[in-house]
Amino acid sequence: MNTPLRQATPPLADHEIPKTSALEGLRVLDIATFVAAPFCGTILADFGAEVIKVEQPGGGDSLRQFGTATECGDSLVWLSEARNKKAITLDLRKPEGVALFRQLVEKSDVVLENFRPGTLEKWGIGFEALREINPGLVMLRISAYGQTGPKRGEPGFARIAHAFAGLSWLAGEADGPPVVPGSTSMADYVSGMWGAIGVLTALRAREKTGKGQFIDLGLYESVFRLLDEIAPAYAKFGTVRERMGADTVNVVPHSHYRTRTGEWVALACTNDKMFLRLADVMGSPELAREFQTSAIRVANRQYINTVVSTWMGKHSLTEVLEKTRAGEVPCAQIYSIKEIFEDEQYKARGNLLHVHDLRAGDLVVPAPLPRLSETPPTFRHAGRALGADNESVYGGLLGLSSEEVRAASARGVI
């Protein structure tokens, strides 16, 4: 049912390709759009899966035009997040397109989709229909609110997920409005990560049962699952956590402070031992005796924050970092992307991958994660041009002749 991968394209980065990729032989059809489900495909592709990106003929995935444009016509987001994927076009709304898709599904392991619930069923390619031709198929289904419930058919993006999940309510100053919690696309990326966990878990189960299954994931669920104790705290005590700016609900000092030279740093004192160290660093060991426990410090939040803020304001960034490092107190400068590019830790870990793309030239993209000692992830190429792999996939995988591929393209099927 599943055919092995062909030899991978040589990498464009100066990194050694492992002899065996962790997911070599796994074939994935990515028919999703934007980031959420496609990011799952990016993760799988980084580890050697053959991920075939399926796009609408003519325009392709809207992600190609989302973000900063480049000279090749595709955005930087596309070049980075469609990495390592083959690119084909196929109109799933046409019967001939559906027929070709069913042939691809028969030879694949995984399908990634994020259409509104019911859309694929309307086209005759829902999970139940596809599992008839491939009983081992694993399908990831990501939508705004999941496949069930009263809101199942409503549209949504990451910003909506942040709001509905309760994250936006927590983001911002106590006396200010809710703000964007960091990246506006966070729910998309987190959903892609949850999706990868689901796909790999389902594939592991298939090894035991021989049966595929679908993974049902709502964007908001991916975010809600990360919000520590807000659910049990409300259920047990009726606690509604409010916005606290940079502070943390149950520990102090655990916030952001400004140095004498104007930079901001993040400080994390998560327990009593850590506060004892900080008190020594600040030259005020009596603070640790007076405010021995987290509960006492939380009750005196404003005073503790004022003391720490005053100390920070008397020292330069270099002094703060040197003193906290010597005292083993977790503290770091709050970076912009400028500082990230200059930092030696990022360089030592290879977190910024310098590659050359034949269409867009020199690029710097986030390196793939996580690191595996024996079968590490790799970067083989940036996001491909629309339909770049039509000939190789339809010809090499499905056996269509060049004339048949051209004819299907002329009819708008691919």
Rounded to an integer, the average pLDDT of 298-310 is 98
Give pLDDT, residue 6.
29
Rounded to an integer, the average pLDDT of 86-108 is 98
Please confirm, yes or no, whether 362 is among the known catalytic residues. Answer: no
* pLDDT over 90 (residue 253): yes
**What are the percentages of helix, strand and coil residues in the chain, rounded to 5?**
40, 15, 45
Q: Band of the pLDDT at 341, cuts 50, 70, 90?
A: very high
**Tens digit of pLDDT for each residue in 257-271?**
999 999 999 999 999
* Residue 112 near residue 28 (C-beta atoms within 8 A): yes
CB-based contacts of 295, cutoff 8 Å, min separation 6: none
Strand, helix or coil for residue 380: coil
Q: Please tell me the class of the 27-225+351-410 domain.
A: alpha beta
CATH of domain 254-340: 3.30.1540.10
* pLDDT over 60 (residue 16): no
DSSP code of 148? S
- Parallel, antiparallel or unpaired: strands 361-366 and 352-357: antiparallel
* Annotated catalytic residue, options 188, 247, 272, 357: 188
The residue type found at 89 is T
- Three-point CA angle 151, 222, 101, nearest 5°: 75
- Three-point CA angle 304, 306, 308, nearest 5°: 70
Residue with tokens 């086209």: 123
* pLDDT over 70 (residue 14): no
* Residue 47 near residue 405 (C-beta atoms within 8 A): no
The domain ranges of the chain are: 27-225+351-410, 254-340
**Tens digit of pLDDT for each residue in 104-115?**
999 999 999 999
- Residue 330, number of CB atoms within 10 A of its CB: 15
Would the pTM count as exceeding 0.85?
yes
Strand, helix or coil for residue 357: strand
Could you tell me if residue 83 is left (phi over 0), alpha (psi between -120 and 50 degrees) or otherwise beta? beta
The residue type found at 44 is L
DSSP letters spanning 168-184: HHHSS-TTS-----S-T
The set of long-range contacts for 282-290, using a CB threshold of 8 Å and a minimum separation of 24, is 282/307, 282/308, 282/311, 284/311
**Tens digit of pLDDT for each residue in 183-235?**
999 999 999 999 999 999 999 999 999 999 999 999 999 999 999 999 999 99
Tokens for 117, please give them. Answer: 């619930």
